Amino acid sequence: MDHSYARAMSVEEKYIVDLMQLLDENNHRIKEETYRQMSNILKKLYDHTRNVNELNTLIVLYRKTEQELYRAHLKKWDPHTNAGHHQECIKLEEERRYHMHLLEKAGFECEIEVYYDASERKINLI
């Protein structure tokens, strides 16, 4: 299963890239040491902003899979008798666990509100 996602550059990231380009265009007017310091600060700011935006995306994707499982529960999906429902629930649970793993790896604690137990073929609400 491909868990990759495309994320557009945020407005903040675009501004930082614009600043980097402006700094590069004017590097001949700035002392070399000052240029390096400014470049390092902009790079750190860009990396931090990108990381925050990627984490926000992961949070949205994690909650989205939980919401889809919850909607399946509300629609009275029956994974016991419907193989299509079972397969879709397995897919959603794999996505939920994948995003939860990435968030926990980044230091976030994920509160589980809904999950799919494939051995019981049941959507569980907490």
Residue 69: left (phi > 0), alpha (psi -120 to 50), or beta?
alpha
| Residue 4: inside a domain | no
Other Cβ atoms less than 10 A from the Cβ of 26: the count is 10
> Count of domains in the chain?
1
| DSSP, res 30 | S
Range of the domain at 86: 11-125
State pLDDT tens for residues 105-124: 999 999 999 999 999 999 99
pLDDT at 10: 87
pTM: 0.76
State pLDDT tens for residues 64-121: 999 999 999 999 999 999 999 999 999 999 999 999 999 999 999 999 999 999 999 9
| Residue 2: inside a domain | no
**Contact by Cβ (8 Å): 54, 13:** no
| Residue 6: inside a domain | no
| Residue 115: inside a domain | yes
Alpha carbon 62 to its chain centroid, in Å, reads 7
